[in-house]
Every structure is written in C-alpha cells, then in structure tokens.
Amino acid sequence: MEANKYLQSILHNEIPLTRAMEISVAHCDSNKVELTAPLKPNINHKCTAFGGSLYSVAVLCGWGFVFHQMKQNNLSGHIVIQHSEVDYKLPVDGEIRAVCEPGDKKILENFIRTYQRKGRARIKLKIKILFNEQDALLFSGHYVAHK
C-alpha cells in the first residue's frame, strides 16, 4: 500500500474522530508529511476552522511523521505527544493543510539511533498550517516514542 494511504488507514482506524474531521493524508514520505481536512466538519461560529481542529490536524501531522520514520526503519512502538506550543496567526476559512517537513536529517537520525539503543526517544517537530501560502498556525510539539 502507498505510504499516504497506509497512514490514512491507521489514522482513520485508530482515532475515529479523524473520520468525523475528514482528515486525509495528502503526502507521506521520509521528508514530509502533509495532512488536509475540509472546512465544513471543522467549522466554527465565525465560519473559520475551529482552533481545536487546527490543533488536531497539526498534532497528527507530526505524529504521522514520527510513525512513518519508525516504519521506514522497521521499528514499532507507541508515539505520544508530551508538550506543545501553538501560535494562531491567521484564521483559516478554507481547507486545513498541515505540513511537517523538518529538513534537518541529523535530528531524525539521532531520534532513530536513540530509539534503537534505548527503546525510547524524543523528538521536537515544527508543524505549520498554511492558508493562502501564509502561515496560519505554528505548532511545536515534543513527541516521545517508546516500546
């Protein structure tokens, strides 16, 4: 199965709310994970995306990135979010699009090496929600993977 379809099936099967939110995996490879969700099921009273939905798409984008990295390295385990900071910059009145694309390969290599050695590792990821090519939300999350 393609990586994006596989990640989407994991999200939809294991977190039922992602189906209500209609989250899709638009892109999934070792460099980038991109999730989208339509506005309608995630709308708020101002006809923009609900802040909790924006957060959920962002936190799952980072979770999916870690999940994919581990799978690529034939590793399995639990991945949990431990800490996050969020800045809401602009309202989103259309499709929600979250992107995790760390760039720095060393951070990923350290994460995988630590997990292989200790069965537990931590990674800090930045995720953006983009709207009209601008940053609508900046998310920083500390994820922990453990056996």
The binding site for its own copies (CB under 8 A) comprises 10, 13-17, 20-21, 41-46, 50-53, 55-56, 59-60, 78, 80-88, 91
- Name which of 50 and 65 has its Cβ closer to its own copies: 50
Radius of gyration of the chain (CA): 15
Q: How far is the CB of 96 from its own copies (least distance, A)?
A: 12
Q: How far is the CB of 135 from its own copies (least distance, A)?
A: 14
| DSSP E strand boundaries for 1-147 | 24-28, 33-37, 78-88, 96-100, 120-131, 134-146
- Name which of 17 and 107 has its Cβ closer to its own copies: 17
Residue with tokens 């798409």: 57
Q: How far is the CB of 80 from its own copies (least distance, A)?
A: 7
d(CA 12, CA 144): 21
Q: How far is the CB of 122 from its own copies (least distance, A)?
A: 13
d(CA 106, CA 122): 13
Residue type at 119 in one-letter notation: G
Q: How far is the CB of 37 from its own copies (least distance, A)?
A: 10
In terms of Cβ atoms closer than 10 Å to its own Cβ (0-12, 13-18, 19+), residue 137 is buried
- Name which of 91 and 126 has its Cβ closer to its own copies: 91
- Name which of 80 and 107 has its Cβ closer to its own copies: 80
- Name which of 19 and 105 has its Cβ closer to its own copies: 19
